[in-house]
Structure 1
Amino acid sequence: MIGWHDRGALRATGLCYATARRFCPPVDTPPSRVPVHATTWSPAAPQNIEPELNAALGVAVEEFHVCEEALHLSITLPEHPADTPRPVMVWIHGGSYVFGTADLPVFDTRPLALEGDVIVVGVNYRLGLLGFLGGEGRPANLGLLDLISALRWIHTNIAAFGGDPGNVTLFGHSAGGDAAAHLMIAEGAEGLFQRAIIQSAPLGIRRGRAKMNARMAAVAAEVTEDTPLDEVLRIQTRVIEAAQGFGLKSAMPFAPQYGHYPLPREQHAPAAWRRAAAAIDVLIGTTFEETALFLVLSPALSRLRRAPWLGQPLTGALVAATTRKIYRRDAADFARRHAKSDGRAFVYRFDWNQGRGPYGAAHTLELPLLLGEPQSWRDADIVKGVEESELHECGQRLRKLWADFARSGHLAQKGRIEKVIQWWRANE
């Protein structure tokens, strides 16, 4: 393995963990008999660009380099040797299962690896109709199967990097958190990880999706193995349009589907989570004002917010209600069920930035503290006006909390973190 040094860290980037023929399960990459050069960032899965979200996160279009035929991951660890194998943290990026990539500068895992003395692995996986739709005889959960393939690769190879394959923590945001939750009950993922940090997963819109998925699959049926990728992405836009009219779940039409390998039927999922509880520690939570992000990005809702007298109260009530329905209620229920099933579960609420700027403590607001460095987020609208010193100080505390949980499954005393995050233990 030929990697590279980066300011106190060792990197092995752009490692191919599987090949990905269109509409087929991933094929694990076999061991290499020649040195592998791991010195370039992982390419992204094919996706349509989302200009508004890129602006909110400070992401440039040039940062997306796409590859359909292979799947990649990147590894970051401290340069200095460790006396014992290091805990492993696996980053699953969000993006509504249609956009995003693990190796963006704003998602840089170097500070987390160095400060937490952990190994961090960022994983890319198939998105949109190529990863999470299926139909017409095609597998429905290819993106989830990709993640299981990556976990197999990590389990087999991470000891060579000084990592502990028996101490692996998934941490994912939004769709990435939803994926982490469903990997807990996915056939083939058993024993490949021991903890899950589920950040802002939209669990409240995960049920009753069969009719919507069927309509989407009908529109996507014209896509074949030979359809040019640009045309596939244009059709994906039409597939998303076909999903409208199914309520809040239309906001994230692509997602893992129950009743399709490797997931159980929807009615059997709660029992599967109960069976998994004793083997997996869980930290799950939300920001205080999750849906404020989407309010700001919506021109119509932004105009309503600026309306005299009732604009602020109405949109504030809308954010509170949708945050509770889509995110907070089901996160708390998930933790309670986990704790009652002999699992260890903690719930957090992320309050930082509440009351400041148009975003407040909105969806994605923990990411500038958890990943990247303050200068990485310089162009991000969500933290515009926040001093770099504040990002650094609060980020150090949040990264320590995440790394401590990954190391032991326990949390620090509340007094050390209460300015950044509030939490409670689900079985107390």
Structure 2
Amino acid sequence: MSANVIAGPQVFSTGSLEYSGKAVDGVVHVPGVRYGERLDAADRFSPLRDPSPGRAQAGSTVFPQSPGSLDWLMGPALSSLEQDEDSFLLDIWTPEGALDLPVLVFLPGGAFISGAGNVGWYDGARLAAEGNAVVVTVSYRLGALALLGGSGVPLNLGVQDILQALTWISANISAFGGDPAAVTLAGHSAGAWYAYVLSLAPAAKGLFCRTALFSLPWQPPLSPAAYAERRELFNGFLKDALDGGTPDGALDGGSLATAPVPAILEAQAAVGKAYAGRGLGLVPAADGGLVPDWAMDFRRAASSLHVESLLLSSTDNEAAAFLHPVPVAAVSPEQVAGFVAGHFEEAPEVLDFLDSRIPDATPHAKLVEAMSLHQFRLAATELAGRANAAGVEATLLRFSVPSKLDGVGSPHCFELPFLFGNREDWRDAPMLRGFPEDSFEAVSGQLRSLLLSFVANGRPRSADGEPLDRFTADHPQLHALAADGVVAGTIEPELRARR
């Protein structure tokens, strides 16, 4: 293998600000690009403005977070990065000499409480080179510092940060060789949720024209009552973490505004434990603005989409990532039946489907299947259908390549190393252990081709150039990416999830 070809520093200018990057094998990486700064530097909940002169770039830091709950699957790469509340940063990869190229903006996931765009997992060099595109990754505020600031009205600072990043990209990406009129917004998991919500938001109209959603979770925004409940619970845990809290035992916004980060992380971890088995502890709440209360009502939401096309992808066994730590013997048939009854309109029909799809499976495996259906796969199918009915082109994809890790199948997050094609940056990921290199390259090449062709013109194509059929009412096509290529998948029957 030949050594990488490394060029000297390259400088990009956007008005009064300059950014430096280094080219490797024809792609320039510009790290630590600041997309915004707080209007009030002393207020951790302040909205953002454009960066000031002299603050164009920063070191690679991430927003405060605890180790991720899926580190056992993905590896510990996030834990090696320094944390800072001022991590309003982009990383940009652009081919040398780029001019008016399509732009891919990627939002990482992490259950709304962890993640960062500048971790090595999301190195965009290969996508930029193969797609002749500009690739941008975004970091945004997380956890209580993003979701519980302010008083009784949620601020949803994570989505505000992303909107500021998209605004900055629209105004400045041409300096890096990108076309601001050809931006695709992509996201994974919580990042997909934010990308989807911004695809509905009037404030984001015109900032991107296509959306690629990987493992979009069905996660309705919190109601005012549910938000107040989370906030009160968090405040109680924060009081404990601060060893006494305020004299009268009550916490107000000022306490969260000044509490040290370790106490905040301790309190939000306690909220997560309190909601274990009932969903995520900290999630965005409806705010009447960027996050509407009807966001997950796909019938209504589809008519508000302001993008031309959607790429919707999920994995075969999404919930295996979350249930793998639960011992197989700990899940009973009664628990499966209880979950199905609570999450689907016609429980007997769903139980029959589970028996026919995985007839000899354990109750644990059937619970994985039922949760994957409810939270991810059926949501993607429904959104594809509603988008098509509203005149938005949609393509439905299923990542059906299993990990060699025992008992997980194709779990949540497993497609990410294949998407970026950077196995070396995932060398500590248990989910890739034992996966053959030639198979990795073949699957990765197919997935990158699907995404990059979508970025180029909104029509995903396989590695041999074949376009994927769009999802329509007359032809509700699911495309499965298997180890041997892209094949026709089978749409699940209309198993009506309780929404």
TM-score by length of structure 1 reads: 0.87
Corresponding residue for residue 253 of structure 1 = 281
Ranges in structure 2 where 5+ consecutive residues have no aligned partner: 1-18, 236-250, 333-358, 469-478, 492-499
Q: Which residue pairs with 2:375 in the alignment?
A: 326
* Structure-2 residue corresponding to 1:68: 85
Q: Hey, what does 2:76 align to over in structure 1?
A: 59
Matched position secondary structure for 1:266:
coil
Q: Counterpart of 1:2 in 2: which secondary structure?
A: strand
Q: Deviations over 1:177-229 (max 9, x none)?
A: 111111112242111111111111111x3266554322111133434322111
2:63 aligned to which of 28, 36, 45: 45
Aligned to 1:169: 184
1:197 to 203, 212, 228: 212
**Aligned-pair CA distance for 1:331:** 1.1
Q: Secondary structure at the match of 1:10?
A: strand
Which residue is equivalent to 1:237?
269
Task: Return the offset for 1:322.
Answer: 0.7
Partner residue of 1:131?
146
Match of 1:148 in 2: 163
1:345 aligned partner: 394
Q: CA deviation at 1:62?
A: 4.6
Per-residue CA distance 1:353-399 (angstroms, 9 max, x = gap) = 27863321111111110125122222211111002232222212211
The correspondence for 1:112, drawn from 120, 127, 134, is 127
Return the letter of the residue paired with 1:55.
Answer: W
Q: Is the 8 A contact 1:18 1:70 kept in 2?
A: no
- The correspondence of residues 389-400 of structure 1 with structure 2, limited to 5 A, is 389-400=438-449
Paired residue secondary structure (1:232):
helix
- After superposition, where does 1:4-83 map in structure 2 within 5 Å? 4-20=22-38, 22=43, 24-30=45-51, 32=53, 36-37=56-57, 40-41=59-60, 43-50=61-68, 53-60=70-77, 62-79=79-96, 81-82=97-98
Q: Percent identity?
A: 29
In the aligned structure 2, how far is the partner of 1:383 from the partner of 1:86?
32
Contact residue 197 and residue 295 of structure 2 kept, 8 A:
no
Separation of aligned partners in 2, 1:154 and 1:267 = 25
Return closer, same or farther for 1:315/1:424 CA change in 2, 3 Å cut-off.
closer
1:2 is aligned to 20
CA contact (8 A) 1:78 1:113 kept: yes
Aligned AA for 2:20? I
- Partner of 1:294 in structure 2? 322
Letter in 2 for 1:280: E
- Structure 1 residues 28 and 411, CA gap change in structure 2 (3 angstroms): same
Amino acid corresponding to residue 323 of structure 1 in structure 2 = S
Residues in 2 aligned to 1:378 and 1:212: alpha-carbon distance in whole angstroms: 40
RMSD: 2.9
Q: Say which of 377, 395, 420 aligns to 1:371.
A: 420
Q: Relative to structure 1, is the Cα distance of residues 332 and 210 closer, same or farther in structure 2, using a 3 angstrom cutoff?
A: farther
Change (3 A) 1:62 1:253: closer
Mapped to 2, the partners of 1:198 and 1:12 lie a distance apart of 25
Looking at structure 1, the residues matched to 186 and 488 of structure 2 have their Cα atoms a distance apart, in angstroms, of: 17
Q: Secondary structure at the match of 1:3?
A: strand
The whole-number CA distance in structure 2 between the counterparts of 1:302 and 1:87 is 50
CA contact (8 A) 2:102 2:455 kept: yes
**What's 2:301 paired with?**
273
**AA partner of residue 15 (structure 1):** V
2:399/2:410 contact within 8 Å kept: yes
Q: Distance in 2 between matches of 1:78 and 1:49?
A: 34
| Corresponding letter in the other structure for 1:182 | V
Greater helix fraction, Structure 1 or Structure 2:
1
Structure 1 counterpart of 2:327, one-letter code? A
AA of the residue aligned to 2:191: G
Tell me which of 217, 242, 248 is aligned to 2:231.
217
Whether the 8 Å contact between 1:292 and 1:359 is mirrored in structure 2 is: yes
Task: State the alpha-carbon separation in 1 of the partners of residues 126 and 107 from structure 2.
Answer: 17
The one of 297, 312, 317 aligned to 2:366? 317
Tell me, in whole angstroms, the C-alpha distance in 1 between the residues paired with 2:152 and 2:221.
23
Alignment CA distance shift 1:422-1:28 (3 Å): farther
Could you tell me which runs of 5 or more consecutive residues in structure 1 were left unpaired when the two chains were aligned: none
Which of 1 and 2 has higher RCO (CA within 8 Å, sep 6+)?
1
Q: CA deviation at 1:421?
A: 4.7
Match of 1:382 in 2: 431
> Would you say 1:282 and 2:310 are equivalent positions?
yes
CA contact (8 A) 2:93 2:136 kept: yes
| Number of residue pairs aligned between Structure 1 and Structure 2 | 410
Distance in 2, Cα, partners of 1:354 & 1:53: 15
**1:71 alignment partner AA:** F
Question: Superposed, which structure 2 residues align to 1:83-122 within 5 Å?
Answer: 84-122=99-137
Query: Would the alpha carbon gap of residues 403 and 137 (structure 1) be closer, same or farther in structure 2, given more than 3 Å must change?
Result: same
Is it true that 1:405 corresponds to 2:454 in the alignment?
Answer: yes
Q: Which shows bigger deviation, 144-153 or 59-68?
A: 59-68
Amino acid at match of 1:282: L
Please give the secondary structure, in 2, of the residue aligned with 1:77: strand
1:242/1:320 CA distance change after superposition, 3 Å: closer
Change (3 A) 1:403 1:424: farther
Distance 1:209 1:416 in 2: 36
CA contact (8 A) 1:184 1:273 kept: no
User: Which 10-residue stretch deviates more, 9-18 or 384-393?
Assistant: 384-393
Report the Cα distance in structure 1 between the residues aligned to 2:197 and 2:442, rounded to whole angstroms.
33
Partner Cα distance (1:268, 1:359) in 2: 28
CA deviation after TM superposition for structure 1 residue 107, in Å: 1.8
